[in-house]
Amino acid sequence: MIAKQVPNLITMARLVLAVMAFWFMSDVIRLSEGDADTALIKAAAFFAFWFFFTAAVTDWLDGFLARRYGWVTAVGRVADPVVDKILILGLMAYLSASNKVYGLGIDGGDWHVVMPVWAVVLSLGREFLVTALRGMVESAGKQFPADVFGKIKMLTQAVYVGIALGAYAGIPDFLHFPALGLLRSPNFFFAVFWLMIAMTVFSGVHYCINGARLLSDNIND
């Protein structure tokens, strides 16, 4: 019985890691509003990045353990996606609030904003819509599980948040890996950003179509 709770404990640990990432992103915003040295801002972003990266790894780990050993629980089925959304959407909100310091890691001037407010609102709206739709479908006695497009959406959000934090934190300079120089390219950010937005919209529409079909089937039955 104790072993079966391991994935749930990892999920709770991910929530703690998310809070720590939020803490350091708050420092990024606070320091950028004053006359703090650029190195201090990058240091705060550096810690935020590694807390996020570790949290992302635990997301894979708890799912793997639950499936591999049959440690799936009702609590885990609810807590895991909720903590994922807190982590990703929370950091998207912090990135939106810290847009004015994005130039610490990205070349090319001010023409590209890392996380527009409308992108955060769109993502939040999509989550609220899908959650409400899931509640309606399941209250009608139907199953409405996450599908592959929802998982791809979450992956693109995690990748974009990760590269944005990595750019803030100066990860390309820290790791000295040539390919990471892409993190400084506005064109790269632009491409990944719009891929994330496209998957957010597409997956939301796909869920709505499936939900409407299931509700229609229930009425016809």
Total domains in the chain come to: 1
Residue 106's region, left for phi above 0, alpha for psi from -120 to 50, else beta, is beta
Tokens read off for 118: 């409308």
CB-based burial, 46-82: b 16+ in 10 Å, e otherwise: bbbbbbbbebbebbebbbebbeeeebeeeebeebbbe
| CATH code for position 68 | 1.20.120
Domain that holds residue 123: 3-220
Q: Quick one: pLDDT at residue 18?
A: 96
CB-based burial, 111-126: b 16+ in 10 Å, e otherwise: ebebbeeebbeebeeb
Q: Quick one: pLDDT at residue 47?
A: 94
Percent of the chain with pLDDT over 90: 39
Average per-residue pLDDT for the chain: 83
126: pLDDT confidence band, cut at 50, 70 and 90?
very high
Residue 208's region, left for phi above 0, alpha for psi from -120 to 50, else beta, is alpha
